[in-house]
Structure 1
Amino acid sequence: MTANSCFYSPVAAHRPNVFAVAPMIDWTDRHYRFLARQLSSHALLYTEMIVSEAILRGDRGRLLGFDAVEQPVALQLGGNDPAKMAEAARIGEQFGYAEINMNVGCPSDRVQSGTFGACLMREPSVVADCVAAMKAAVAIPVTVKCRIGVDDQAPEVALRDLVARVADAGTDAVWVHARKAWLQGLSPKENRDIPPLDYDLVHRLKSENPHLFIGINGGLGTLNHAVEELSHVDGVMLGRAAYHDSAMLTAVDGYFSHPLSGAAPADFGDEALTAGGHRASPDFWAGVRDAMMAHAAGHIAAGGRLIHVTRHMVGLFQGWPGARRFRQILSADATRAGAGPEVIAAAFEAIFSAAGAQQAAE
């Protein structure tokens, strides 16, 4: 795949509407991504942010290894040195990632001490240099995920300046978290909720840059809200909402294109959907169960623990009959010594039994 493929095509008529799950530290690891891929074929998935220096000096197999079934999956890098970012991007491409994304939005103390992440909103020329270096190093898309500004910056100025510079450097897309980041006075958690959202600014940014892919992130809590945003931008990115109510991903394929193939939204035919828009076919969910059991078995055989997999599954059935029992089984039994894939089977049986009981009552 090249940067000019349909993934982030510069031709607006050929550009797919992309749904992405945001990169989230401690959450979007390989086990979560495997689960997400069972729920949606069309969602673009991201790794947790990985610092370029760690890739250059650390255990690359542990840091970058992923299951091919996760594709399309993008590697998010943190850093501010163009040469190191380029080399890390090259390594990521060799591992098979579909995209390299530069983090210009994380406000944590860790990134502030390293002067990358959201700090780089103040250094747009550095971001542009990194983008240019990565573009020269790889053939896959290179993208940027940023905030609208930090601290006392004027977002109308800061965001436009950053986007203009990275566009000139050749970025294939800009994903904008539509809030400022306050590096002084707010914790990373508070930075996800307290600074006000400014979707209108991102909408204007898109109208001013018709040939650049602009995606929006921040405060999108439902799939319906995400779909509404497609009248303004090219892509939508959900984080916590998609993680905590991950069954919403089962309806993504019915609304969004496949980012690699450009395939149109899927037709679910007569398959029943829940009131929340989630797929409800017992056969579909039995397939998810079986895939997760096999994945867990492989992880355990390699020396891992069941909880590494099941901790990402707790939010699968929010609001469904049997969901409470599903959570109880995963939360209690998956942590026990010697716990195996049978715990996943028991948890799913709680959902299937509750659904059967509900149907019988009706």
Structure 2
Amino acid sequence: MTMNSNQPDTQQTTPALADTTAARGLPPRRISVAPMMDWTDRHCRVFHRHITRHTWLYTEMVTTGALIHGDVERHLNFSQAEHPVALQLGGSEPEDLAKSAKLGQQWGYDEINLNCGCPSERVQKGAFGACLMNEPQLVADCVKAMRDAVDIDVTVKHRIGIGRSETYGFVRDFVGTVAEAGCATFIVHARNAILEGLSPKENREIPPLKPEFAYQLKREFPQLEIIINGGIKTLEEIDVHLQQVDGVMLGREAYHNPWLMADFDARYYGDDALPKSRLDVLQAMADYAREQLARYGHGAAAGGGLRLNSITRHMLGLMAGMPGARAFRQTLSDSKKLAAGDPDLLLQAYTRTQARAA
């Protein structure tokens, strides 16, 4: 792998804070994939890593209660191939978050991220997620407790506001207060969170996007790392945002159209190494599935263990926009073939795709 020092014009040009990632031998957070419940599990992240070497990957949100009282290995185990990878925590008790952050560092995560953006009713009942934006000093206390417990970066992902009020001053004051506790990286989902009357899905679509709020945060806090998130779908949109902020976080577009990420290493990290083909990725994932099934047992046969669908379900969008994409999805969604637990199904899906495209 080689890194091209003459990076393209699409690189962000805004001032950046002292780069703690470089000091630890990690790429900058120029591009990242958002934490998404039920989607960005460890199998999904391995798949994404085979497409892009440098993009930061984030876990699904893990609550402090799940780590303190539950099965730590089930929640924190991951493949070393996933680096750089961040653990997103959900919680509002500084002591519990400190304990959980320490566990995250012990398991090898590269960053701890605090969820201050999820609007779901379940999360609100736990008094964390987006509702924490109403208590910036508590968030600051949580950040300080975690920073005192770990040596890796502690970051915050948040919205620009709560409810129907859309004033820039709200998010500015939130960021200012939390930054005083030592948080240097803020991932800004550039729309409000409506805590009543909208589902989590509607909260990702109905509140209007206001990227200018993220841009203004970068202008007012040039020493901070500001990463924008929300509704970003194309390379061209990424390029525009990187002229104003330090990084871009993609959400569902990365999941539904993962091959978009194939351009990230060269375009945003100056890596001129030959990228993998779709077939390369499928072969690598077939090998990964084979190793995982050997380790945990095939669920359909062992009455537990791992089902092949746990891996393949994340890959349905790999051929999006290509001839034969429907045949690819149909093959990987065939319940009888999945029940057989043969990882070569991935290669069979590709072969069928090529036959349809011919």
Does the alignment reach a TM-score above 0.5? Answer: yes
Distance of 2:253 and 2:328 partners within structure 1: 19
AA partner of residue 285 (structure 1): R
Equivalent pair of 1:333/1:343 in contact (CA under 8 Å)? no
The aligned counterpart of 1:151 is: 163
1:266 aligns with 2:271: yes
AA partner of residue 291 (structure 2): G
Deviates more, 1:319-328 or 1:89-98: 319-328
AA partner of residue 310 (structure 1): T
The aligned counterpart of 1:293 is: 286
TM-fit CA distance, 1:156: 1.1
1:243 aligns with 2:263: no
The aligned counterpart of 1:274 is: none
Distance of 1:169 and 1:203 partners within structure 2: 22
Select which of 329, 332, 338 maps to 1:330.
332
User: Cα RMSD between the aligned structures?
Assistant: 2.0
TM-fit CA distance, 1:349: 1.5
Name the CA shift for 1:73/1:219 in 2 (closer, same or farther; >3 Å).
same
Equivalent pair of 1:75/1:99 in contact (CA under 8 Å)? yes
Deviations 1:26-62 (A, max 9, x none): 0000010000000000110000000011111111110
AA partner of residue 328 (structure 2): F
TM-fit CA distance, 1:5: 4.9
1:79 aligns with 2:84: no
Distance of 2:344 and 2:336 partners within structure 1: 9
Equivalent pair of 1:8/1:213 in contact (CA under 8 Å)? no
Name the CA shift for 1:179/1:94 in 2 (closer, same or farther; >3 Å).
same
Write the mapping of 1:5-16 to structure 2, written as runs, cut at 5 A: 5-7=19-21, 16=28
Secondary structure in structure 2 of the residue aligned to 1:75? strand
TM-fit CA distance, 1:4: 6.2
Structure 2: which 5+ runs fail to align? 1-16, 297-304
Equivalent pair of 1:51/1:79 in contact (CA under 8 Å)? yes
Equivalent pair of 1:227/1:255 in contact (CA under 8 Å)? no
Normalised by the length of structure 2, the TM-score is 0.88
The aligned counterpart of 1:212 is: 224
AA partner of residue 315 (structure 2): M
AA partner of residue 178 (structure 1): A
Structure 1: which 5+ runs fail to align? 258-264, 272-278, 358-362
TM-fit CA distance, 1:221: 1.1
Count of matched residue pairs: 331
Secondary structure in structure 1 of the residue aligned to 2:339? coil
Secondary structure in structure 2 of the residue aligned to 1:220? coil
Deviations 1:102-146 (A, max 9, x none): 000000011111110001010111110000110111010000000
The aligned counterpart of 1:230 is: 242
Identity over aligned pairs, percent: 48
1:252 aligns with 2:267: no
1:107 aligns with 2:119: yes
Name the CA shift for 1:15/1:40 in 2 (closer, same or farther; >3 Å).
closer
Normalised by the length of structure 1, the TM-score is 0.87
TM-fit CA distance, 1:153: 4.0
The aligned counterpart of 2:66 is: 54
AA partner of residue 341 (structure 2): A
TM-fit CA distance, 1:240: 0.4
Secondary structure in structure 2 of the residue aligned to 1:175? strand
The aligned counterpart of 1:39 is: 51
The aligned counterpart of 1:340 is: 342
Deviations 1:79-119 (A, max 9, x none): 00001001100000000000000000000011111110001
TM-fit CA distance, 1:335: 5.9
AA partner of residue 288 (structure 1): V
Distance of 1:69 and 1:341 partners within structure 2: 19
Equivalent pair of 2:166/2:192 in contact (CA under 8 Å)? no
Write the mapping of 1:310-321 to structure 2, written as runs, cut at 5 A: 310-321=312-323
Deviations 1:14-37 (A, max 9, x none): 994610000000000001000000
1:91 aligns with 2:103: yes
The aligned counterpart of 1:123 is: 135
Distance of 2:143 and 2:278 partners within structure 1: 41
Name the CA shift for 1:103/1:334 in 2 (closer, same or farther; >3 Å).
farther
Select which of 41, 46, 59 maps to 1:29.
41
